[in-house]
Amino acid sequence: MRIKVLGCYGGQLLGFHLTSFLVNDSILLDAGSPTEGLDLEDQFGIRHIFLSHTHLDHIKDIAFLADNRSLKRLGGARENRQIIVHSLKENLEVLRKHFLNNHVWPDFTKIPSIDDPILAFEEIKPEEPVEADGVTITAIPVNHPVPCTGFLLEKDGQQFIYTADTGHTDRIWEVANAQPNLKGIIMDCSFPNNYERLADISGHLTPNGMAKELAKFNKLGDVPVYLYHMKPETLNVLTAEVEALYLPHLRMLTQVDELLF
C-alpha cells in the first residue's frame, strides 16, 4: 500500500491543507484537500472516497472534485469515471440534504444524468468489510459529536488504521491489537494540552489524551504511529508537548509524507 498525505491539519491556513489521504492513487480517505494537493490528471484517478464523517473539513473537496470532473468530461474525457462515496447511511443523508442539495452545491449524484452521474453514494455498515480497488476497508465507529468511523485497511496481508477524528475511544484499539501485521496508525492529535476541555467536548485528543489512548495499544514502539489533525496555529506548542512525551515510533505527519509498505 502507498498512502500519500494530501492534507493532515485540522484547520486551514496558508500552506496547511485539511485532512485527506490518498491510498494507491485511487482511494481517498476523507476529502478535505484533494483539489489543492493533486493536479487534474491525478484527481481523475480517484475512484473511491471513504468518508469518516460529515464535518466540513472532511467533505469540502467532494464538491470541487466533482465539479472538476464534470468539466473534464465535458472537455472530452474518454470515460466518465465515477467517484463512489462510501460512508455510513446517516452521513450520506447529511450530504444529500445539507451539502449536495442544489442550494449549497449542485447535486452531482444526478449530474450529468441520473443514469450516469459523477458521484455515486454507497452505504457502509460498521465492521462490515468493503472491497475497493483491491483494498479491503472496514469502518470502525469512533467517538466524535457526529456519526464517525475510522478505517481499517488491508491488502496483501498488511493492515493500516486511520482513526479519523476521535476523542477517547476503545473499539479501534481492540481492532488494532487484533491485527497480525499492522504497518501503522494515523491518529487524532488536535489541540495542545491546555485545550483539554475543548478537545473533550469536540471529540478530539490533546497530546496527553493521545498518550492515554496509546496505553490501550499493545504494539506501541513496534508499529509506527502518525499524528494528524493538528490545529496549525498551535503547531509549535503541540510539537513541544508531543516531544515531551518521549513516545517511541511516533511523529506528526507532514504534507510531503508518503507512507510505503
Residue with Cβ nearer Zn ion (154 or 165) = 165
Report helix, strand or coil for 143.
coil
Nearer to Zn ion, 93 or 261 (CB): 93
Q: Which is nearer to Zn ion, 91 or 159 (CB)?
A: 91
Which grid cell is 58? Answer: 472532511
The arrangement of strands across the sheet holding 182-188 comes to 130-132, 135-141, 149-155, 158-162, 182-188, 225-228, 250-252
Q: Helix H segments across 81-123? A: 89-94
Q: Which of residues 57 and 241 has its CB atom nearest to Zn ion in the complex?
A: 57
Applying CB under 5 A, the site for Zn ion has a residue count of 3
Q: Mapping DSSP to helix (H, G, I), strand (E, B) and coil, where does residue 207 land?
A: helix
Which of 1, 4, 35, 57 touches Zn ion (CB under 5 A)?
57
Q: How far is the CB of 255 from Zn ion (least distance, A)?
A: 16
Return the residue of 4, 48, 55, 73 that touches Zn ion, per CB under 5 A.
Answer: 55
116: nearest Cα among 171, 56, 69, 162: 69
User: Binding segment for Zn ion among 84-92, 93-101, 157-165, 173-181 (CB under 5 A)?
Assistant: 157-165
What 191-194 contacts at long range (C-beta under 8 Å, 24+ apart), as own/partner pairs, is: 191/231, 191/234, 191/238, 192/234, 192/237, 192/238, 192/241, 193/241
Interface stretch with Zn ion, choices 50-58, 70-78, 88-96, 114-122 (CB under 5 A): 50-58
Q: Which is nearer to Zn ion, 18 or 111 (CB)?
A: 18
> Alpha-carbon distance 166 to 212, whole Å?
13
The minimum distance between CB 137 and Zn ion, in angstroms, equals: 19
Q: Which stretch binds Zn ion (CB under 5 A): 64-72, 102-110, 158-166, 174-182?
A: 158-166
Instruction: Work out which of 61, 107, 154, 165 binds Zn ion, going by CB under 5 A.
Output: 165
**Nearest distance from C-beta of residue 18 to Zn ion, angstroms:** 7
Cα angle for residues 204, 207, 209 (degrees, 5° grid): 55
Q: By CB under 5 A, what part of segment 231-250 binds Zn ion?
A: none
Neighbours of 197 (CB within 10 A): 10
48 part of the interface to Zn ion, by CB under 5 A = no
Residues that bind Zn ion (CB under 5 A): 55, 57, 165
